[in-house]
Each structure stands twice: as C-alpha cells, then as structure tokens.
Amino acid sequence: LDPEAFVYCCHSRPDKIDPTTFRCWMRALSRVRSEYFSRVNDKNESGYPQMRAPPVLWLLRSGEEMERNLRDLVRTEFGQDMEEAMVFADVAERNEHLRRLGCADVFLDTPSYNAHTLGCDALYMGVPMISLLRGFKNADTIGECEGE
C-alpha cells in the first residue's frame, strides 16, 4: 500500500460482499480516482486536501480464482485502469491483521451481513466504518448500533 493513498478497506470474507455492493464501491472509487487524476497537475485552488496518490480498495484475498474473477469483472465493467485500484491482502495472524488494518483510512462494511468482529477490530484501530443498515434481522445486524 502506498502510504499516501486513501485506502478503502474491506477484509471481510469475499462471500460476504454481494455483487451490488462491490459494484457500488467500484463506481464510487472510480469517481474518486477520476478526480485524483484530473487534479494531479492542479494547484489545488479548490480548498480540498490534495490527494498525493490514487485511492485504492484493499480486499482480503481468498484464493487465486477469486482475485482473478474480481479483476476480470473490474476490467470488463470499469476499465483496465480500475484493475490497478484493487489491492489484495493475504490472511494474517491476529497481531499482523490489527497492525495492517490500522493502515486503512475507512472500513467498508458489507450490508448483507454487517460487521462483527472485523468491524470492532477496525474501530479499535481507529479506522472509521461506513455501514449500510438494512433493518433488524438477528445475526446479520451485529455491527449496527441502536439509538433511543
């Protein structure tokens, strides 16, 4: 990971990432990356912080086939340049998992399951989490927080 890049992270098991959510993340990332590349040579007169490296989506690797399928999908639907936007991490032991999770800028929750331990790990490491809540259905809403 480039330490200057904004890192969108989801280290949930790939089976928890539904196709609609993945495509939504890639559309958003595509827009942010387009903005980055359009401003690379700007003097940043907008007042927004200048991005120093292109943002990436950091995913957990769960095999060569999974990575190949995602790369093929992204290349086909979003273009060759977007394939470079994906970074894959191997499964790691607990301490290394926590250390590297802290390198992310934001953790993307999976709305089909919502975060459990992994969401708590991200928050523990100071990484904010974006979650889409889809109602209350027992085990799939553990990452949600109810307010009065």
Q: What is the pLDDT along the chain (148 residues), one digit of tens a residue?
A: 888 899 999 998 888 888 999 999 999 999 999 888 777 655 556 555 666 889 999 999 988 999 999 999 999 999 999 999 999 999 999 999 999 999 999 999 988 888 788 889 999 999 999 987 765 555 554 555 544 4
User: Which residues touch 63 (CB under 8 Å, ≥6 apart)?
Assistant: none
- State the DSSP H helix or E strand holding residue 53, giving kind and residue range, or none if neither: strand 53-60
Q: Can you spell out the DSSP letters for 60-129?
A: E---HHHHHHHHHHHHHHH-HHHHTTEEEE----HHHHHHHHTT-SEEEPPTTT--SHHHHHHHHTT--E
Distance CA 97, CA 101 (A): 6
What separation in angstroms does the CA of 53 have from each of 6, 7, 33, 36, 59?
Answer: 7, 10, 9, 8, 18
Provide the token pair at 96: 């290394």
Provide the token pair at 123: 């928050």
Distance CA 120, CA 70 (A): 26
Write down the pTM of the prediction: 0.81
